Amino acid sequence: MMLTTVLLLLLLAGGSVFVAAVLGVLGTTLAQLFSSFPLQRALGEMAWSSSADFILVAVPMFILMGELLLRSGVTDNMYTALDRWVGHIPGGLMHTNVAASAVFAATSGSSIATAATIGTISIPNMDRYGYKAPLFLGTIAAGGTLGILIPPSINMVLYGAMSETSVSELYLAATIPGLMLALIFSIYVYIACKIDPSLGPKREPAPWGERFRALVHLMPPLMLFMLVVGSIYAGLATATEASALGVVGALGLVVVRRRLSIDMLMLSFESTVRTTAMVMIIVIAAFFLNFVLSTLGLTDAAVKWVGKLQWSPNTILLCIVLLYIVLGCFVESLTLMVATTPIVVPIIQNLGFSPIWFGVVFVILIETALITPPIGMNLFVVQSVRKGGAFRDVVIGSLPFVGLMFLMILLLIAFPSIALWLPSVFSARA
């Protein structure tokens, strides 16, 4: 059975086939070959139930929220505003890159959007002020990946739906690690610049008056974050409902800033549905493949096989983490996440780990996939926004951040409460 699966995968991968089609063909073939039941009959039911899943409704909602926000113009001044606060720390604009990515991530569920938006604003300043390219570009590529960790995150919704864990709890669990990771990035930049001051120029701190005046520009994204995560934390809304609140909040910003137009709405609609369909066709196919795998008993077999290993849970966990870092170099991140969640989560749970906690670890692993060569989407995005220069700069600059993400994972393993404390406060109160 394994041989058939592997051969089929190789053929389809070699043929550069659509990811959803690969998963679908794999599922159907396995069902035909190894099951006496016509499992493909369930395809229609699976397609409908996963398309009409209330948890997944948050996916188009958060995409729409990001699209509206992008066109509201609120992000334009955000970067400058943050620069007033962090620009004088050794490392200068690189801290601004990380901070702006974190704030932008709080209003967007996408890493590509985060990296490209921050990159577009910040890269022209790199040569102008004499920053060394690799580290500077690394902060953008890595900072961008915070988009999927700091809530709202589309990847978290997908993880929640596929592992049957609460998206609300996942969001609460990811908040502190997300902010910590941003802080770790900044600390690294600070230390690097202390050791080698030629990495970036020194700058005078902005006067306090200017700093407080700049806060106005940070209000819209922060308010939106509070609206979405705050309503979840207060128990007023589920994650999906909070996503709808976010859309209405973003729409409100668009109206207040007088950017509302039919053209603008149409563009937002097109983009939203385009991305939603792109994500959902893979999700539908993955649900079907997962259904086939679990019916054939392959998922159970994998769980049992790992359970039989005489290793400690932490050793196995570490192996899984390293495996994902390697896989992340070659497999596109959305596919990696959606296709493997249904198999890896039962294994993790069987080892005694919390699936909520693992959700945070998993998303950080997916973040590393976005900046590891040769297939790291954020590397390409940053290089493309940069328009010229050696691609090597981006890759080399991003590598230390892979190490920092690994460090964050180790911290999470050593102190699971970094992730689990906030959800526990929430559920104790509810």
Partner 1 sequence: MNTSVNSSVAPVPPNNDDGLLGAALLGAARVSRWLARIGGAMMLVCAILVTLDVVVRAAFKVTYFESFELSTYAFAIATALGLSYALVSRAHIRIEVLYMLLPARRRGWVDLFAYVVLAVCALTLLYWSAQLVLGNYQSGARSNSSLSLPLVIPQGIWLVGLAWFALLSVLYALLGLRLCLRGRPEQAHRQLGVASLEEEIEANVTRKSSP
**Distance in Å, CB of 69 to partner 1, minimum:** 11
Supply 209's token pair: 């008056």
* Residues between 193 and 232 that touch partner 1 (CB under 8 A): 231
Of 3, 36, 44, 204, the residue at the interface with partner 1 (CB under 8 A) is 44
Contact 154, 62 (CB under 8 A): yes
Contact 238, 170 (CB under 8 A): no
Binding-site string for partner 1 from residue 170 to residue 189, where x marks contact by CB under 8 A and - marks none: --------------------
**265 is a site residue for partner 1 (CB under 8 A):** yes
* Residues between 69 and 128 that touch partner 1 (CB under 8 A): 70-71, 73, 110, 112-113, 116-117, 120
**141 is a site residue for partner 1 (CB under 8 A):** no
- Residue 312 dihedral angles phi and psi, to the nearest 5°: -75, 150
Using CA atoms, how far apart are residues 309 and 305, in angstroms rounded to an integer?
7
* Residues between 329 and 348 that touch partner 1 (CB under 8 A): 330, 332, 334-335
Supply 66's token pair: 């990001």
Nearest CB to partner 1, comparing residues 24 and 138: 24
| End-to-end Cα separation, the chain, in angstroms | 47
Nearest CB to partner 1, comparing residues 95 and 386: 386
Nearest CB to partner 1, comparing residues 118 and 360: 118
Nearest CB to partner 1, comparing residues 114 and 186: 114
* Residues between 266 and 305 that touch partner 1 (CB under 8 A): 266-278, 280-282, 284
Taking CB under 8 A as the binding criterion, the range among 6-14, 295-303, 349-357, 402-410 that sits at the site for partner 1 is 6-14
Supply 345's token pair: 């989560």
Q: What is the DSSP annotation of 137-198?
A: HHHHHHHHHGGGTSSS-HHHHHHHHHHT--HHHHHHHHHHHHHHHHHHHHHHHHHHHHH-GG
Nearest CB to partner 1, comparing residues 89 and 337: 337
**237 is a site residue for partner 1 (CB under 8 A):** yes
Q: What is the DSSP annotation of 374-412?
A: SS-HHHHHHHHHH-SS-HHHHHHHHHHHHHHHHHHHHHH
Vertex 375: Cα angle to 325 and 159 (nearest 5): 55
**Distance in Å, CB of 304 to partner 1, minimum:** 30
Q: Taking Cα atoms as reference points, which of 148, 175, 161, 147 lies closest to residue 232? A: 175
# of chain residues touching partner 1 (CB under 8 A): 83
* Residues between 47 and 76 that touch partner 1 (CB under 8 A): 47-48, 51-54, 56-57, 60-61, 64, 70-71, 73
Taking CB under 8 A as the binding criterion, the range among 16-24, 90-98, 186-194, 295-303 that sits at the site for partner 1 is 16-24
Supply 423's token pair: 């959800």
Nearest CB to partner 1, comparing residues 28 and 80: 28
Using CA atoms, how far apart are residues 166 and 235, in angstroms rounded to an integer?
13
